[in-house]
Amino acid sequence: VQQTYEAVLLSAGPPSAPGHQFEELFFEHYPRLVKTLLRLVGNSGQAEELAADAFYKLHQHRSQQQPDENPAGWLYRTAMNLGLDALRSDSRRVRREEQAHRDALAHEAPGNPLYEMLAEEQRERVRTVIARLKPIHGQVLLMGSSGFTSKEIAAVLGVKLDSLYVLISRAKAQFEKEYTCLFVRSDGRTQ
Amino acid sequence: MMQCLSESDVQGYLEESGPTPLRQTVEGHLVSCARCRVEFDRVVATHQRVNAWLSELASPADATAVDVHTAFARVSNRIDAHDHLARLLAPAAVEIPWYISLYRSLGELIRPVKLPPLDVTSRPVAVKTIWGLYARDPRSRWVSVGIHAAVFSLLMFGFTSPTMQRAIRQNFTILDPNLKPFVPDMKPQGGGGGGGAREAPPVSKGQLPKPSMKQFVAPQIVDHTPKLATDPSIIAPPDTPLPQSTLNNWGDPLARLMNGSNGIGSGGGMGDRRGGGVGSGNGGGFGLGSDGGIGGGVFHAGGGVSAPAVIVKVDPEYSEEARKAKYSGTVVLSVVVDQEGRARDIHVLKSLGMGLDEKAVEAVQKWKFKPGMKGGQAVNVRAQIEVNFRLL
C-alpha cells in the first residue's frame, strides 16, 4: 500500500526520547558493560565508545522491532560482538598495542616498568585467544572473569544453569587448546 | 551405583561456592568413582589454568570511574539526532514512480474525486485595506524626486572629500586630450586619383593600399585569386600619411557604404573617374585631383615632383600710373604650370597695386615653362613666381 509523504510524517509522531525502561537499563548495565569491554579491548575510551554503540543499537533494535524479552542479553551479545570486531581489527589492535607499550614505558609505574610491559603483553595474548573463540564462548569467559556470577550470566544469556556450565566448560577447554597452540612451547613453557 | 558426573556437574562444582546440593553430590560421587576423579582432575587443571590466564586481563584501568550520566546524555543526543533525521527523510516507500503518479493524475482529471463538503470553521476578520492606487498620488512623485536628489547630492558632495573633488577637476583635461601628435598630417600635397570598374554602386568603404611612387597593380576588389599576387598601391610618396581603416578589403576609407563595389569609374582603380587610384579624381593617387598624390589639386614641387623651370620669359610692362609715381617692387604670383608648360590659375599673393599686378599677370601668361615632372611624366605643379618692377 502506497503511503503519502504526509501520512508518513504524521505516523512518525514526535521524536521518541529514550524511554524510562531504556534509562534504567542504561544505568544498570553501562558500568559493568564498560568494565567487561575494557578487559576485552584494553582501552577505556574505546570500551566506553563500544558500550555507547551497543546501547544505541539496542534502542534502534527496540524501536524498529518488537521489544526483546531479554534486552540485557541482546545488549551484552551485541557489545561482545562489537568488542570482538574491534579486537580483530588489525589496525586498531596494532595502534592499541603501540599505545600500551608507550604507556608502559612513559608512565612510571610504581613497580617495575618492565613488569608492566610484560603484563600488557600477557593481556594481549589472552585477548588474542578470546578473539579466536566462538563469540558465545568468549562472552561467558569474559563475563565470568569480570565478576558476573553464573546466575547473572545465565540470565543475560537466557539459558539454564546446566547449559551455562556446559558452555563454560567447553569454552575453557577451547581456550586452553588455543592458548597452548599459540603461546606454549613443546617443553611446556610459555613463549 | 550412582551415575557418573556430567560435564555440567563438574563445571557447576567449580563455579559454585559453598555447600550447595550440587557440590555435595559431586563430592560424594568422587569418593566412589575413580574414573570421574581422573576426569575431575583434568577439568580442574584446565579451570585453574584458564582462570589464571583470564585474571591477567585485570589492569589498573579497571579502577577508573565511569561517568554514566555523561555517557547517557551522549547516547540520548545521538538517539534524538537519529529520530530527527528519520522524520526528515521519508522512507523510500513514499516515492511514487512517475507513471503511477501520471496515471493517478489523469484518473483524477477524468473522474474528479468527490470530496466531502468543506467544513469551514474560520470566519473572516475585517482588516485595514492595504492595497490602493499610489501611482496618481503626487506626493509619491515628489518624494521620489527628493530621495533621488538627496542620494545624488550625498554621493556628489557628501561622500567625496575635497581632495577627491580637486583630483576629479584636474582630470577633466582628459575630456579634451591633445590628439594632434596622433592625427595624420592630411595636408594636401597635390594630386589625386580615382578609377573604377564601371560598376553601378559607388565605391566601397575599405582600406587604402600602401603609397608608392611606382604603381604595379591598382587596388581593386576581385572575386578571384590572382596567379601572381602583388600588393596593390596608389601613387604617392611612401611617407604620405593616409586615412586609416580597419576593414580588410581595399576601398575608399572615406566612403559611406561597404558594398564590395569598385565604383562607377574606369581604368582599374576604385572610384568615380578614371585611373588606377582610389577616390573621385583621375590617376593613380587618392582623392580629388589627378596624376597621383592625395588630397586633390595639383602637385607641389618636392617629394618626387620636380619644379617647373622658365624657358621663355617676357618682361612685364610698367603701368602709366606707376611710372609717373616711380613706383617699384615685387609682385608674388601663385600659378599652376600645366603639363604643356603654360601658367594658369594665376593668383596674386603679394600685391603692389597701381596696375602692376595686372601687368605681372599679363607677362606671366606669356611665359613658357618646362613642366614639373613626376615619374618621368609632366604633371601640373603649383609654383610661386616673383615679378620684379624696377625703374632704371
Question: Could you read off the pLDDT of B221-256 as tens digits, one per residue?
Answer: 877 777 777 888 888 877 777 877 778 888 888 787
Whether residue A56 has pLDDT greater than 80? yes
Contacts with A57 from chain B: Cβ below 8 Å: none
Q: How far apart, in whole angstroms, are the C-alpha atoms of residue B383 and residue B334?
A: 6
Residue B43 has φ and ψ, to the nearest 5°, of: -65, -40
Q: Which residues contact A155 (CB under 8 A, 6 or more apart)?
A: A72, A73
Confidence at residue A3, expressed as pLDDT on a 0 to 100 scale = 44
Rounded to 5°, the CA angle B269-B272-B276 comes to 20
Write down the number of H helices and E strands in chain A: 9, 0
Q: Touching check for B66 and chain A: CB below 8 Å?
A: yes
Please state which of the ranges A38-42, A183-187, B39-43, B51-55 shows the lowest mean pLDDT. A183-187
Q: Give the minimum alpha-carbon distance from A65 to chain B in angstroms, rounded to a whole number.
A: 15
Q: How far is CA B195 from CA B138, B203, B345, B349, in A?
A: 67, 9, 26, 34
Tens-place pLDDT, residues A114-152: 777 788 888 888 888 988 889 899 989 988 888 888 888
Please give the angle made by the CA atoms of B272, B277 and B283, to the nearest 5 degrees.
Answer: 85
Nearest residue on chain B to A146, alpha-carbon basis: B58
Place of cell 590466564: B53
Average pLDDT value for residue range B30-47: 88
Say if residue B191's pLDDT is above 70: no
Question: With the CA atoms of B116, B120, B121 and B125 taken in that order, what torsion angle do they form, in degrees rounded to the nearest 10?
Answer: 170
Select from B12, B57, B93 the Cβ nearest to the Cβ of A145: B57
More confident residue, A163 or B261: A163
Residue A53 pLDDT grade (very low, low, confident, very high; cuts 50, 70, 90): very high
Kindly state whether B18 is in contact with chain A, defined as any CB-CB distance less than 8 angstroms: no
Q: What dihedral angle (degrees, nearest 10) is formed by the CA atoms of A158, A159, A160, A161?
A: -100
- Does position B117 have pLDDT exceeding 60, yes or no? yes
Q: What is the mean pLDDT of chain B?
A: 81
pLDDT score recorded for residue A92: 58
pLDDT recorded at residue A12: 40
User: Between the CA atoms of B221, B225, B227 and B228, what dihedral angle is there, to the nearest 10 degrees?
Assistant: 50
% of chain B residues with pLDDT over 70: 88
- Cβ atoms of B362 and B294 closer than 8 Å: no
pLDDT digits (tens, 9 = 90+) for A64-108: 766 667 888 888 989 989 988 888 775 555 666 666 666 655 555
pLDDT of residue B87: 72
Strands B368-370 and B343-350: unpaired
Residue A55 identity: F
Mean pLDDT value of segment A22-51: 88
Q: Which among A44, A59, A172 is the nearest to B50, CB-wise?
A: A172
Out of A16-20, B99-103, B133-137, which region has the weakest mean confidence (pLDDT)? A16-20
B195 close to B266: Cβ distance less than 8 angstroms = yes
pLDDT confidence tier of residue A168, bands split at 50, 70 and 90: very high
Q: Look at residue B115 and tell me whether its pLDDT is greater than 60.
A: yes
Residues of A in contact with B56 (CB under 8 A): 119, 122-123, 126
- B19-28, B262-271, B279-288: least confidently modelled range: B279-288
